[in-house]
Amino acid sequence: MKTSKRPLRTAFILILAGLVICFAGLAAADFDFTRLDSTAYVDSKHAPEGEFTRISVDTDRADVYICISESGKCEIECHEPEKRLHSVSVRDGVLSISQEKAKWYEEFFFMNLKRPRVTLRLPKAQYESLRLAGSTGSVYIRDAFTFADAYFTLSTGDAEISGSAFGALEIRLSTGDITLADISASSLDTRVSTGDTVFKNVNVKGALSFSASTGKTRFEHVVCADLRGTSTTGSVYLSDVRASASMQIKCSTGGIRLTDCDAETLELSASTGDIEGNLISAKTFDAHASTGKVSCVSSAAGGLCTVRTSTGDIRLKAGNN
C-alpha cells in the first residue's frame, strides 16, 4: 500500500504560507518587535505626601531608575500596562511602590514586549534602607545616594549601580549582569546564577563576597578587608585588588588571573583552569597541581598563599620575584 504524499505537501504549503505572513507582518512593523505588543500602556505620575526614610519597591516587569529630584520633592513617573498600574503610598515612614503580578493567562495569551518603566526621583540623598524586588526588569542608580542598607532581588534583569554609598549591600540575580562602579559599602554580597559581575572602583570596609554560577567576574581597583567568592562556570579576573586580611577564591570551570593584587593570606583553587598573575608583597607559596605545571618562587618571609588546581597550571610571582 502506497502512502499518499498529499497531506505532507499540504502541511508544507501551510507552514510556508505562515512564514510568509509572519515575515510580512514584521516587515510592516519595520522589524520593531515592540510594535507587536498587544498590551495597552499609560503614563502616570505620583507625588506622594509624607516623610519617609525607608523605600520598598516591588514591581513585576518594570525597569526601575532611582535618581535625585531636581524639584526637592518626591516624584514618581510610571510607564505601565493600563490594567496593572503601580500603587504608591507612604505609611509609617516607608515609601512603598508595588505592582500586582501578572495572571497566568495574561502571560499566555498576551504579548508583553515593551519594557515598563518606573522613575523614582527622591528629594534627599540619605535614607535608612532600600528594598527592591522585581520579576523581569533592571535597576539603575547613578546618583550619589547613601543607604544604611540595601537589598535587591531580580529574576531576570541587570543591576547597574554607581556613585552611591551603602552600609550593607546585597544583590541577588537569577539571570542578568551586575555592574558596581564608584561605590563604597560596609559589607557587600552579590550572587548571580547566569550573568557577569563587574566591580570597578569599589571600597568595602568589611567583607566582599561574591557567587557566580555561569558568567565572568571582574574586579578593578577594589579595596576591602576580606575577599571571598566562588565561580562555578566562568573565570575570575582581578586587577589592582587589595584585601587587607584574606582573599579566598574558588573556581570549578575557569581560571583565576591576578594583576597587581595583594592580601595578607590567600587561598586560590581551580578545578579546570589556570591560576596566574602577580602579587605585590612577598609570599610563602604552598602550591600543588594534579595535572599541570607549577611555577612559584617563595620568599623567606611573607604571608601564606595556598594554591590548588586539578587540571591547569599555576604561574604566580610575588614581591620582587
- pLDDT by 10s per residue, the chain, length 321: 455 556 666 666 666 666 665 555 545 555 444 444 456 889 999 999 999 999 999 998 899 999 999 999 999 999 988 887 999 999 999 999 998 765 544 554 444 556 899 999 999 999 999 999 998 899 999 999 999 999 999 999 999 999 999 999 999 999 999 999 999 999 999 999 999 999 999 999 999 999 999 999 999 999 999 999 999 999 999 999 999 999 999 999 999 999 999 999 999 999 999 999 999 999 999 999 999 999 998 777 889 999 999 999 999 999 876
From the centroid of its chain, how far is CA 234? 15
In a domain, 108, yes or no: yes
Q: Do residues 34 and 113 touch, judged by C-beta distance below 8 A?
A: yes
In a domain, 43, yes or no: yes
In a domain, 90, yes or no: yes
In a domain, 31, yes or no: no
Q: Do residues 69 and 140 touch, judged by C-beta distance below 8 A?
A: no
Domain span including residue 48? 37-125
Q: What is the pTM of this model?
A: 0.85
In a domain, 112, yes or no: yes
In a domain, 41, yes or no: yes
Q: Do residues 230 and 209 touch, judged by C-beta distance below 8 A?
A: no
Number of domains in the chain: 1
Instruction: Output the domain CATH number for residue 77.
Output: 2.160.20.120
In a domain, 52, yes or no: yes
In a domain, 70, yes or no: yes
